[in-house]
Amino acid sequence: MVPRRQSWGCSIALIFVATLIAGTDPICAQGSVPATGDPQFCGWWQAKVTGDLKPKRTHDTVPSSPDKAADALKTYESLLHAEVYDPDQVAALTDEQVIAAISCLLQLENDNRNTVFVGGPRIVYVSQMFGPAPVKLAALLYISYLFTRNLNLFTAVALRGPGAESNRSQWEYATSNEAIAKAYASYRNWYERVKNIGLARAREQKLDPLEGTGLRWY
């Protein structure tokens, strides 16, 4: 029996268009950001990649139409060519919020569930087929999004480089657990440096969380 080939990557365009038609954020719109001291703060940010909080939907009762679908396709096309894509408006966050959110996401290192986070819309430009990514890897990508404030810099929730590819799947690309562990160690060192020099200076210096690892995002 020939195995059915499914691509997580090839489904991204459909996911983005469907969410645009529904009138919801493509990532995980959950309302206002809790204060950093709020007990729900970490859960709110972790839900960006875990999906544990149900997104707020304001247009579920509005039926889709050919015109609405066409508008969504035009919007998606514009996202592909946009220089900056910031769907969660992280550019509006304070430095304190970003630093705290990064700390929360680093706590997901052992979460092996499949993520709801799909990365940026430009995956349609990549011929590689991707399998579902784990929450722990998506958390690192979301951290990079928080830091750069541009999701269009990251095509897929996958790392490449020496030892990055897992041998678990014949058809779909998956990042190895060894590479993810290596990335976490590097991100934690980077995070301590960011806290020491400040977020603004770290952005000016374009500090790379994966520097020296040989790994990079798709």
Residue ranges of alpha helices (H) inside the chain are: 12-22, 41-50, 66-81, 95-106, 135-148, 177-197, 199-204
Burial 111-127 (b: 16+ CB within 10 A, else e): beeebbbbbbbbbeebe
Calculate the average pLDDT of the chain.
81
Split at pLDDT 50, 70, 90, the class of 70 is low
Counting DSSP H helices and E strands in the chain, the numbers are 7, 2
Q: Which of 14-18, 25-29, 62-66, 176-180 has the highest mean pLDDT?
A: 176-180
Q: Residue 191 is which amino acid?
A: Y
**12-22 and 66-81 helices, crossing angle to 10°:** 120
Digit-coded pLDDT (tens) for 150-201: 999 998 999 999 999 998 767 889 999 999 999 999 999 999 999 999 999 9
Query: What's the pLDDT at 80?
Result: 56
- Cα separation, 128 vs 4, in Å, equals 16
Quick: pLDDT tens for 77-106. Answer: 555 566 798 999 999 999 999 999 999 999
Q: Please, which residues have CB within 8 angstroms of residue 70's CB and are 6 or more apart in sequence? A: none
Rounded CA separation 181/218 (Å): 17
Structure-block tokens of residue 149: 């404030």
